[in-house]
Amino acid sequence: MFKKKLIAGLLGTAMVASMLTGCGGTSDTGSNDTAADTEATTAAATEAADDTADDAADDTADDAADDTADAGGKKVGIAMPTKSLERWNRDGSYLEEQFSSKGYEVSLTYSDNKIDQQVKDIESLIADDVDLLVIAAIDGESLTQVLADAKEEGIPVISYDRLIMNTDAVSYYVSFDNYTVGKLQGEFVRDQLDLDNADGPFNIEFTAGDPADNNAGFFFNGAYDALKSYIDEGKLVVPSGQTEFDQVATKSWDTATAMTRFQNILGSNYSDGTQLDVALCSNDSTALGVTQAIESDYAGSNSVIITGQDGDEANLANIVDGKQTMTVYKAVANEAVATLDLGIALLKGETPDASLIDNSGWSFDCTYDTSSYDNGTGIIPSYLLVPTVVTKDNIQSELVDTGYYTMDDDGYPHPTN
């Protein structure tokens, strides 16, 4: 494992400048010259951002020509799962913006969460002679055949955010530390309830993600492992008895599915006045459904701790309104930057390793991991970014001051792109 921290907390225009010039191991790392740290004051950070934007502007003209020459008319095929889950819209547009800014021709597909459609979309990208594939799979198990075709054509494949299983065609994996996402949710609950000191017992219910998504098990296990000892000692109780991943999973991460399941749980286990203390939800689309179920079907008057992941707009509004307690934010803008630099290296025929991080000048933490992600054909070398807990108290500093979101006049954040 190799870890490098460069500069955390580039703000506002600095981030935009960084995205425009890229963060690759090329000479255009002017965007990262500034030694701002996460605790930087807004004033200092704004100044840093301005300086950085100037540096970046100077560099951009020179570098644009080099970048375009490197791109050499190459094509990048990006296959995203669906527009119906908010984050993939952001991922798609960040990725498109990144690769286009370096002169690559980009084809971006969305497959409406339909597995067959995604296979067809990837077939078309291959037929269209793309030089690189970046894929966030709908079903990690369903791309073996189409990716065998990609391999035969010599097209490198980056498994984006979700690990693609059972194929040796995947060259690399770029994601966040998925187990840590769940662990942060579990630890948040532990701290909120002060489980090491409080007597309890407290009641908790789990809602996890899509079994077809390899990430979903990591999120659930991370959260469950953080809470298991309290469940084992009876300080945390799961009245529904649903503690296995398969029992709590949500097909397609669908909001309505999560809502219906939770209404049933409330009807069967809480209608007698039993208090629900925690709804541990793996992500925001499921948290949204669970929150709706609690609003419509929960008789208790306590405020239930509800976790999430992604920073979806509706969930951030719920956090502001006190209806959801936290979300684990993953800066997908940075995930796109890491994917760009990895993609460039692959297109140059290189075999990237930890030194990609070392040479990148990235303004965010990233770990090169060669032990955690086995896709059934062996370990897939992974670049893992670091997730952050967001609550009502740090929305401004983590999401708005960093430039990812803007705050409207009513105090609700909206994604910047």
Binding site for ligand BGC (CB under 6 A): 85, 87, 161-162, 209, 213, 215, 253, 283, 285, 309-310, 330
H helix or E strand, kind and range, residue 163: none
Q: What is the DSSP letter of 164?
A: P
Q: Which is nearer to ligand BGC, 160 or 368 (CB)?
A: 160
Please report how many Cα atoms fall inside a 13 Å half-sphere around the Cα of residue 239, on the Cβ side: 21
Residue 245 three-state SS: helix
Q: Which is nearer to ligand BGC, 213 or 341 (CB)?
A: 213
Q: How far is the CB of 87 from ligand BGC (least distance, A)?
A: 5
Size (the chain), residues: 417
Q: Which is nearer to ligand BGC, 94 or 104 (CB)?
A: 94
Distance, CA of 79 to CA of 137 (rounded, Å) = 8
For 3, 265, 357, the CA distances from 385, given in Å and listed in that order, are 10, 35, 11
Q: CB nearest ligand BGC: which residue? A: 283
Q: How far is the CB of 307 from ligand BGC (least distance, A)?
A: 12
Q: Which residues contact 155 (CB under 8 A, 6 or more apart)?
A: 126, 130, 131, 132, 133
Q: How far is the CB of 295 from ligand BGC (least distance, A)?
A: 21
Q: How far is the CB of 136 from ligand BGC (least distance, A)?
A: 7
Place of tokens 């659930």: 220
Q: How far is the CB of 203 from ligand BGC (least distance, A)?
A: 25
Q: Which is nearer to ligand BGC, 238 or 385 (CB)?
A: 385
Q: How far is the CB of 56 from ligand BGC (least distance, A)?
A: 29
Distance, CA of 296 to CA of 259 (rounded, Å) = 10
Q: Which is nearer to ligand BGC, 263 or 283 (CB)?
A: 283
Tell me how far the alpha carbon of residue 273 is from its chain's centroid.
37
What φ, ψ does residue 247 adopt, rounded to 5°? -75, -30
Q: How far is the CB of 272 from ligand BGC (least distance, A)?
A: 33
Q: What is the DSSP letter of 396?
A: I
Classify residue 13 as exposed, middle or buried by CB count within 10 Å of its CB (0-12, 13-18, 19+). Answer: buried
Q: Which is nearer to ligand BGC, 270 or 329 (CB)?
A: 329
Q: Which is nearer to ligand BGC, 94 or 298 (CB)?
A: 94
